[in-house]
């Protein structure tokens, strides 16, 4: 049964406008990069202690950036590698985001067939799910039918989806740039996403979006036109080489329609000479503020 909660698209747009920020802060908590006062004397083999410290770090990052970001993107892999304790840490971080009224996009890149896809969708999507995520990244490469369970649950629970279309990694072209009948695979995927992106707000954006990397600005520009009703999650900004000018291609004429992921450049900002002399949380907050301003000035309404 469909709930009465505002759609993910409506919530995302509202948060972007109220915070004047299209920055999606990625939580990629590499243990070796965490601040020394968080790591303390903990040995890496002590998974329970590492997981607890990781959760503490991520929650304090959320506290630092909540004013400057509409949405947080935990990367599931960094929690999964810590075993059961790591998954408990992920749960606590998601719950903390909910307390701070920040949307949560889990970067899990899930995708499978039939009942397995249904189980993934049921587990992650919506505030009433076991994990309580507002949105999830999904992998379409097993076929259109594998997306349908995610679409159904997302629609019922007012949740969002981001489908991998043209990813930011250097090797993405091996498959995504292959041509079939004169059309790139990423273009076929974009058309599929557009068919799912049913408008739910005045600006015409639905709750099914696409992942398109900032490292391919030409494709980002063409895909923005090809998917006029889809939100675009843009990875590759900052540490991977994407600039504010690059990500601008993913936004519409009104400065909406996209969110830009930044992970290392924000959560590990205290390692940068630009923010030297500040305690780590202040450095993270300033980096989030500066990134939001730079992108808003290049793209904002």
Q: What is the per-residue pLDDT for 109?
A: 97
Has residue 2 been placed in a domain? no
Has residue 172 been placed in a domain? yes
Give 105-121 pLDDT, tens digit per residue: 999 999 999 899 999 99
Question: Of the candidates 101, 96, 157, 102, which has an alpha carbon nearest to the alpha carbon of residue 125?
Answer: 157
- Burial label, 44 (beta-carbon count in 10 A; 0-12, 13-18, 19+): exposed
Q: Measured between alpha carbons, how far is 290 from 297 in angstroms, rounded to an integer?
A: 11
Name residue 161's beta-bridge partners. Answer: 136, 208
Residue 146 DSSP label: G
Question: What stretch of H or E contains 202?
Answer: none
Average pLDDT, the chain: 93
Give 225-276 pLDDT, tens digit per residue: 999 999 999 998 877 778 899 999 999 999 999 999 999 999 999 999 999 8
Has residue 1 been placed in a domain? no
Structure tokens at 230: 């889809």
- Is 109 labeled as catalytic in the residue annotation? yes
Give 158-178 pLDDT, tens digit per residue: 999 999 999 988 888 888 889
Q: What is the per-residue pLDDT for 238?
A: 78
pTM of the model: 0.94
Catalytic residue among 99, 109, 166, 225: 109
Report residue 277's pLDDT band, with 50, 70 and 90 as the boundaries. confident
Q: What is the CATH number of the domain that holds 111?
A: 3.20.20.70
Has residue 3 been placed in a domain? no
């Amino acid at each position: 049964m469909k709930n009465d909660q505002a759609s993910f698209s409506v919530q995302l747009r509202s948060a972007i406008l109220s915070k004047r920020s299209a920055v999606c802060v990625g939580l990629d908590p590499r243990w070796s990069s965490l601040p020394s006062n968080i790591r303390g004397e903990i040995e890496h083999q002590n998974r329970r202690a590492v997981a607890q410290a990781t959760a503490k770090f991520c929650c304090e990052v959320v506290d630092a950036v909540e004013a400057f970001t509409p949405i947080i993107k935990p990367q599931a892999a960094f929690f999964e590698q810590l075993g059961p304790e790591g998954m408990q840490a992920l749960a606590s971080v998601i719950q903390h985001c909910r307390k701070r009224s920040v949307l949560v996009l889990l970067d899990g890149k899930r995708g499978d067939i039939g009942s397995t896809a249904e189980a993934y969708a049921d587990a992650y999507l919506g505030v009433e799910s076991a994990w309580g995520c507002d949105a999830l990244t999904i992998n379409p490469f097993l076929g259109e039918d594998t997306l349908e369970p995610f679409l159904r649950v997302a629609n019922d629970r007012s949740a969002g989806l981001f489908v991998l279309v043209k990813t930011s990694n250097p090797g993405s072209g091996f498959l995504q740039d292959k041509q079939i009948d004169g059309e790139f695979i990423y273009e076929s995927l974009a058309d599929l996403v557009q068919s799912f992106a049913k408008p739910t707000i005045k600006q015409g954006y639905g709750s099914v979006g696409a992942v398109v990397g900032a490292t391919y600005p030409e494709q980002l520009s063409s895909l923005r036109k090809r998917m006029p009703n889809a939100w675009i999650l843009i990875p590759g900004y900052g540490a991977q080489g994407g600039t504010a000018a690059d990500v601008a291609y993913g936004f519409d004429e009104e400065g909406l329609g996209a969110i830009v992921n930044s992970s290392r450049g924000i959560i590990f900002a205290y390692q940068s000479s630009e923010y030297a002399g500040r305690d780590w949380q202040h450095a993270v907050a300033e980096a989030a503020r500066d990134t939001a301003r730079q992108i808003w000035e290049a793209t904002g309404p």
